[in-house]
Amino acid sequence: MKESILSLTGLQWKEIRSGEALEAEFELRQAGFVEMNMTARSESDWRIADNEASVLRMTLNGEYNQDCVLFYGDRPLTYTRLLGALKPGAYRLRFEFSEQLSSPQVRRAFIDSVELLRIGVDSELYEIYRHAPVLYGRNLYSPHDSRYTDTPLLLFYWEEPREDGRMIEYQIMFSHEDEGTPTPLLMSKWGRTTDIEWVYRVFVDADGSVRHAEFQGPHHKTTAHRGNTLMGGHPVLQVATANGMVHDEVTSAYRFLFPPIHRWRPEREPRERVMDAFPFTYQVTAWEMLRQFPMEQPHVLNSFQLTDLRHYLYVQTAKQTIDPKVKTSIDIQVKLKGVSGWFSGSFGDLKHGNFRCAYDGPYSQFSTTVKLPPGTGYADIEEICAVWLPGGEEQVVVPEFKAMFLDADYLPQPAVRSDSPVTVTKAQPRQTLWRGEGR
């Protein structure tokens, strides 16, 4: 349950530039977490270097609160942020254009509306919001990397009951990862070019007291959090690597506080369903690829090199095995009408250095893509199959299947689905997931 405490509308795209600001006053009668929904746009373009984004600096009663990167450019988007845990009282929220943080060629931002909501102790979300981490922006390549690359887009969570309480895990979605899995392999191995990382995990007792907290540190090392907090008790993290790992020692001078806006259920859906729930994430990562990564020209069929993200079939599926700890992989392959051979999501189980193109991660629910000729649509597909791959268990159940393309604007098109389980084995490695005439 969320209580509305301010609705500032009709601003008619108030211009915010250097020396000008927008202020909003509100009264908080009861303590709680305050969530902000700000509809804004910028004279920027995430696809163009030095013109990527404007950044708004937010202060609360004259004190620095956080920054907001307007990564969606001149298109309106509602940016959701958390102001922290606030005590009852009168507040003045101020938005200023930050010349220091904004891209060099960007001079203005525009705000159309601001809504504030309170999450109180009586809300079922209270404990979830309580442990959401403050995230300090990355400063590896420049003082403000997150302004133009690998910017955090949103925060989501999942929880697991324990005998003596529960575990809550928070995951950040970044627009990309500059290091880590090679970019061309991200599409086959993870089904996306965003970077999704668990950053903070807290174990709480039945009475809500924190028993232990940890974060995913450099080199994917699970590390105990030392308990430092800000903004009313939120744990502090610093983006520490170019592949989304964090630390609890602050090294940069700008920060974000995202609310946990989506509950992920790993037993029933891959993490990419969060992208489906917030389609702008597909666009922002695609724009970043257009700016940062040389696209394959001309488009080469069955080459693992990255091409325009509209030339892939995006697949969400699952693999069920006897022992999930055994790394077991399957391939997704597509047969097009009138075209001989199959297009493979893993490029024929390609190995590239220390990386395997096929997904072999820790979750049973996963995503991948299949690179296809430009302009391919559902009507061109004859068959989609799951294919057993060697190296793991000899039998894999594939319980479900979802696939979609991106449209001209990099937004997901309506998907095709199947809930009919198939089993692929070493003896019978190929099974049909979907046929073209079944759409």
Encoded amino acid at 292, one letter: Q
Q: How many C-beta atoms lie closer than 10 Å to residue 16's C-beta?
A: 22
Q: What is the CA radius of gyration of the chain?
A: 23
pLDDT of residue 355: 86
Handedness of CA 375, 344, 293, 272 (dihedral sign): positive
- Contact criterion met (CB below 8 Å) for 108 and 17: yes
* Domains of the chain in sequence order: 1-121 (2.60.120.260), 124-278 (no CATH), 294-438 (2.60.60)
**Two structure tokens written together for 157:** 């969570």
In order of 16, 56, 146, 413, 418, the CA distances from 106 in angstroms are 11, 12, 16, 32, 46
- Contact criterion met (CB below 8 Å) for 370 and 345: yes
pLDDT tens digits, one per residue of 29-57: 999 999 999 999 999 999 999 999 999 99
Average pLDDT over residues 270-287: 98
**Two structure tokens written together for 66:** 């956080």
Sorted by sequence, the CB contacts under 8 Å of residue 53 that are 6+ apart come out as 42, 44, 46, 69, 70, 71, 73, 102, 103, 106, 147, 148, 151
DSSP assignment of 271-315, as one string? THHHHHHSTHHHHHHHHHHHHHSPPPSS--TT--S---GGGEEEE
pLDDT at 361 over 90: no
Average pLDDT over residues 165-184: 95
Quote the CA–CA distance of 82 and 272 in Å, as a whole number. 23
pLDDT of residue 163: 86
The values of phi and psi at residue 218, to 5°, are: -50, 145
Give the residue among 147, 143, 47 at the shortest CA–CA distance from 97. 147
- pLDDT classification of 401: cutoffs 50, 70, 90: very high
**Two structure tokens written together for 398:** 């594939």
Average pLDDT over residues 353-378: 93
**Two structure tokens written together for 230:** 């800000």
Displacement of CA 323 from its chain's centroid (Å): 28
**Two structure tokens written together for 362:** 């820790």
- pLDDT classification of 182: cutoffs 50, 70, 90: confident
pLDDT tens digits, one per residue of 288-324: 999 999 888 888 888 889 999 999 999 999 999 999 8
In eight-state DSSP terms, residue 374 is T
- Contact criterion met (CB below 8 Å) for 349 and 389: yes
In order of 319, 355, 399, 433, the CA distances from 430 in angstroms are 14, 24, 14, 10
In eight-state DSSP terms, residue 225 is -
pLDDT of residue 439: 43
pLDDT tens digits, one per residue of 221-262: 999 999 999 999 999 999 999 999 999 999 999 999 999 999
- pLDDT classification of 144: cutoffs 50, 70, 90: very high
- pLDDT classification of 438: cutoffs 50, 70, 90: very low
How does the average pLDDT of the chain come out, rounded? 96
Average pLDDT over residues 119-144: 97
- pLDDT classification of 333: cutoffs 50, 70, 90: very high
The values of phi and psi at residue 30, to 5°, are: -130, 150
Q: How many C-beta atoms lie closer than 10 Å to residue 157's C-beta?
A: 21
